[in-house]
Structure 1
Amino acid sequence: MGTRYNDGQENAHTDYPVTDLLQMMGHASRPLVDNSGKSVILCHAPRKEYYKKFLRLTQNSNYYNLQGVSHRHLSEHFSELVENTLNNLEVSKSVAIEDDVVLSPLNLGMIASYYYLSYTTIERFSSSLSTKTKMKGLLEILASASEYALLPIHRGEEE
């Protein structure tokens, strides 16, 4: 995968944000199908060292707001990350958590997963749609999906 894309607004090639590259690398395997995945990053040699430092959590602790790089610090960081993520998914009605250990997907979570929607988008759709929603309201709700913020805009298409 390359590390740059054509930005229509700037009319130039722009580097992907590191978070986008990490997400793309995370999609290198299919959950519940593959045990591992491989990703190849194609970039200019001077950028190689820059990207390598994002592959290891302990080498870039400031980026991840770690208090330290010991095993205890990493464990606490991951535990907090998992707890916050699960709480967000539970609040959005994407998953149900029973007895703090049993995790079950709910309909909204399965729909979001199937259509590659973020949990915030499916939560917005669920809370905004009703049987009385008119066409204009439906279009406004669909246009408010957070996924549209990630689409590149070509020059002249701003409106």
Structure 2
Amino acid sequence: MPTIEASTTVPVEPDVAFAVSQTHGDLRLRWDRFIRAERLLDGATAQDRGVRTWTRHRRGMAMVSECVSFNPPSNTGMRMTEGPWFFERFAGGWQFRHAEGGGTRVMWRYSFSCRPRWLAPIAERIGTLVLRREIQARVTSFAAGCADEALLAKVQSDAHP
């Protein structure tokens, strides 16, 4: 199963970086260029283990994922439960660690497998190239969000009402 990862260092503490990563609605769209729309399902109002999320990619594909780990402010993980026909499996995880010299080292990882099995060797090579570009762009966009003063003020005010 191919695994792709990207990392960066952002100028905020891990709890703030984690909170930015968990924004929804307009706040999420402010930094996450990967998606066009996203919403929590089943009446959930905040992310947590077991919460399902519907996401529409900026190119139109949709996916339902389930949060399988949620450990603020250090990591979170998801797995696809419904999605594009060509993914047999898709999962992702985000980690947040104190960086030497200050800030947070952020690492995002995706793993996936494709179907049908006879096409998987070629599809997974292509998927690796596409997802490597996507994850790097997403991490870069996340870093910009962690430098967005208005977004940071909103995240921090939500954390300390």
TM-score, normalised to structure 2, is 0.27
Greater percentage in helix: 1
Q: Which has the larger radius of gyration?
A: 1
Greater percentage in strand: 2
* Higher RCO structure (Cα 8 Å, ≥6 apart): 2
TM-score, normalised to structure 1, is 0.27
